[in-house]
Structure 1
Amino acid sequence: MLVLVLIGVVVLAAAGCVCVVWAQRGGPRWVRAAASVTLAAGEVVRRSNRRRGLNRTTGNGDG
């Protein structure tokens, strides 16, 4: 069951990346909407990692 959930997450992430690239090239409205959702979700994950101190690109040698 866990494997199916992980596969679903990977498929959704890949589809989101495809939508972002397609939207950059002027895709239909639904693709631009899906790309916006994908980019917003990425920003949420990025901000949550910063809050928890998981930013590994500090450059101070601790990473």
Structure 2
Amino acid sequence: MVVPVLAGALALVVGGCVCVVWAERGGPRWVRVVAAVTLTAGELLRRSRKHRGQSLHNTADSGE
């Protein structure tokens, strides 16, 4: 059950990356929409990791 879910997630990630590259080269409108969604999701993920890392770092420093 886990393998099909991971394979599906991998397919979505690869498809999103392909759409980002295609949109850079002037692809159709739906490709630009998928690329925008992919880039937005990546930015949100990056911000959440950065925020989580800072909060973990701050709590570790306050204990010393």
TM-score category, normalised to shorter length: 0.7 to 0.9
Count residues in correspondence. Answer: 54
**Could you state the TM-score of these two structures normalised by the residue count of structure 2?**
0.80
Pair 1:3 & 2:3 matched: yes
Cα separation, 1, equivalents of 2:50 and 2:43: 11
Instruction: Give the number of the structure whose alpha-carbon radius of gyration is greater.
Output: 2
More helix by share: 2
Deviation at 1:23, TM superposition (A): 0.2
Q: CA RMSD in A?
A: 1.1
Task: Look up the match of 1:28.
Answer: 28
Structure 2 gaps, min length 5: 55-64
Structure 1 gaps, min length 5: 55-63
Deviation at 1:51, TM superposition (A): 1.3
Task: Look up the match of 1:61.
Answer: none
Sequence identity of aligned pairs in percent? Answer: 63
After TM superposition, the runs of 4+ consecutive aligned structure 1 residues lying more than 3 A away are none
